[in-house]
């Protein structure tokens, strides 16, 4: 958030691209973006899938829900963000992947970041 002139952020994680429930959730968040903008809040999505997948999936989300993602979607393929938050089941990551992202590793989570840069989930 450094350098952004915003009141806060809403960062939400999803387990896997191209899944039915995540598709509807991301489409719904896109439909709510104008409400976040009224409050000067930045919306961002997060998963361990690569950004290239997010770009392809955005088309499907738009077709399925009528609202393609209109916010950034972070590809956390190296687990840098997920492992430093409650988005990731670390025991599972360490036991099965030796630090690599696996399907459905991230859990659904929402972080609200205040202008003070403090977050809560």
The catalytic position among 10, 22, 87, 88 is: 22
Alpha-carbon gap, residue 90 to 58, rounded angstroms: 28
- Cβ atoms of 10 and 111 within 8 Å: the answer is yes
- Cβ atoms of 76 and 102 within 8 Å: the answer is no
Residue 79, token pair as written in the block: 């687990």
For the question of residue 10 being annotated catalytic, the response is no
Confidence band for 1, pLDDT divided at 50, 70 and 90: very low
pLDDT in tens, 18-56: 888 889 999 999 999 999 999 899 999 988 888 998 899
pLDDT in tens, 77-99: 877 777 776 655 555 555 445 54
- pLDDT exceeds cutoff 80 at 119: no
- Cβ atoms of 19 and 27 within 8 Å: the answer is no
Looking at residue 64, what is its pLDDT?
A: 95
């Amino acid at each position: 958030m450094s350098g952004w002139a915003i009141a806060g952020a809403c960062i939400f994680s999803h387990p896997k691209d191209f899944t039915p429930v995540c598709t509807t959730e991301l489409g719904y968040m896109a439909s709510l973006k104008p409400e976040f903008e009224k409050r000067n809040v930045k919306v961002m999505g997060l998963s361990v899938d690569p950004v290239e997948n997010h770009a392809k999936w955005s088309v499907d989300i738009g077709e399925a829900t009528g609202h393609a993602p209109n916010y950034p979607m972070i590809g956390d393929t190296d687990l840098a963000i997920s492992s430093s938050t409650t988005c990731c089941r670390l025991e599972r990551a360490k036991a099965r992947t030796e630090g690599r992202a696996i399907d459905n590793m991230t859990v659904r989570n929402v972080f609200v970041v205040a202008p003070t840069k403090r977050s809560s989930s």
